[in-house]
Each structure stands twice: as C-alpha cells, then as structure tokens.
Amino acid sequence: MALLTYDGWLFFLRWVHFLSGITWIGLLYYFNFVQTPFFAETDPAVRSGVVQKLVPRALWWFRWGAMFTFLSGWLIILHRMGQLGGVRGFFNTSYGWAIFLGGVLGSFMWANVWFVIWPNQKIVIANAVDTAAGKPANPAAAPAGQRAGFASRTNVVFSIPMLFYMGAASHLPMLAEQMTRGGKVAMGLLSAIIILLVEANALFGTAGPTKKSLATVKGTLWGGFILAAIFYLLFEIIF
C-alpha cells in the first residue's frame, strides 16, 4: 500500500498539516470576521448564551487545530532540513528561509492560542456562566477579553504572511538559491525584530494607533498585507 511507504507517511503528515491548518485558520477567521462583529451588534443575553455554549466548543477545535498544525509543520520542516543537507544546507536556500519564516509566524500564532487567547477566554467563559447563575461579575473578565482579542487579531495579521510564505516556499521562485553569511544574519535579525514588535503590540498596552488598527477587520487585514509586503521586500533586497 502506498501509504505504508516512506513517501506515503510523508504525504499523510502533510495531509494532517493541511487538514488541521484549515480547521485552525478557518475558526480564527470565523472568530474575527463573524463572531466579534456579531457580539458588537447583539444584546447581552444572546451574547452570554453564545459565550457559554458555542464559544467553548469552537475554542476546543481552535486550539487543537493549532496544536496539530504546529507539530506536523515542524516535523515537515525537520524532514526538509534533512533532505537539504542539514541546517546549513537548509538555510542556504530561499526555500528554507521562506518555509522557516512561515513556520516561525505559525509558531507565534500557536503560542498566542495556547498561552494568551485560551487562558483569557477561560476567564470570559467562566464569568458568563457565573453571571447567568446570578453571581457577581468578575472585574477581570473585560480586560481578559480585550487581551484575547488583541492576540486573536494579531494572529490574523500573522496569518496572511504565514500563508503566503508557506505557499511561496515551493511555488514562488525567489531571486537566488544562495544567500551570503551577511544576508543570513540580516534576514534573521530583521525578521525577528519585526515579528517581536508585532507580538509585543498584542501583549503589552491597551491603547495607541497600532491598537486602533486591530480594532477593525479592515485595519487588521491591512496590517497583515503590509506585513507580508515588508517580508517580501526583505527577500527581494537580501536574496
């Protein structure tokens, strides 16, 4: 049977990655493009019911979709490193840098799901259950919801260049297949600074122009496309 061969298992791993990734990113877009605007327009009683009954179910699929995407993705990257002659050979190619950039962005998204969005959403859900039972509202619920919202919108921003470079690694020819040592340092350093600044915007503070851009779907999408363009310019300049 073809699936019992080495190539078959590699295909199976890619299939798991695609399936879990579609589940994860689909729910990410649902939360941001559908559920959040709906919450802004509906009355508190309906919103409370959705938070208690629907959100926990959606978040279960959301966080485990993220987990399986994360694990399968890094297994695929490690496999490709072996095929390309190890770490050095991998990072000598534009393919390696593109798929690695996509993987790093996806890893920050995974970390946001498990260590920011989910812990804060648990506070929001518990508060909805308690207030529905007549208990006092938890004052920490509103800030927790806001922090989860910032992280979720940041994941949308990250998702746009992440998906671009996952596809670009195999299907968009870069300018060159070799990068100088200085180019590697510059690419790694500049990419890390950009990603960390975007992530810091999600984790710290509650106001400012960069936070305002995350307040709307339009602003969030623009942020993602601009980030993808910035990384593309880095590839064009450095490679």
pLDDT bin (cut points 50, 70, 90) of residue 221 is very high
Residues of the chain above pLDDT 90, percent: 66
Domain boundaries, given as residue ranges, for the chain = 2-238
Dump pLDDT digits (tens) for 73-114: 999 999 989 888 898 888 888 888 889 999 999 999 999 999
The yes-or-no verdict on residue 186 having pLDDT over 80 is yes
Report d(CA 148, CA 116) in Å as an integer: 6
CA–CA gap between residue 203 and residue 147 (Å, rounded): 7
Cβ-proximal residues to 188 (8 Å cutoff; 6+ apart), any chain: none
State the pTM of this model: 0.92
Q: How many Cα neighbours within 13 Å face the side chain of 138? A: 19
Considering only residues 79 and 3, tell me which one the structure prediction assigns the higher pLDDT: 79
Would you give the DSSP letter of residue 137? Answer: P
How far is C-alpha 227 from the chain's CA centre?
13
Q: Which residues touch 102 (CB under 8 Å, ≥6 apart)?
A: 161, 162, 163, 164, 165, 166, 169
- 14-52 per-position pLDDT tens digit: 999 999 999 999 999 999 999 999 998 999 889 999 999
Instruction: Give the model's pLDDT for residue 115.
Output: 97
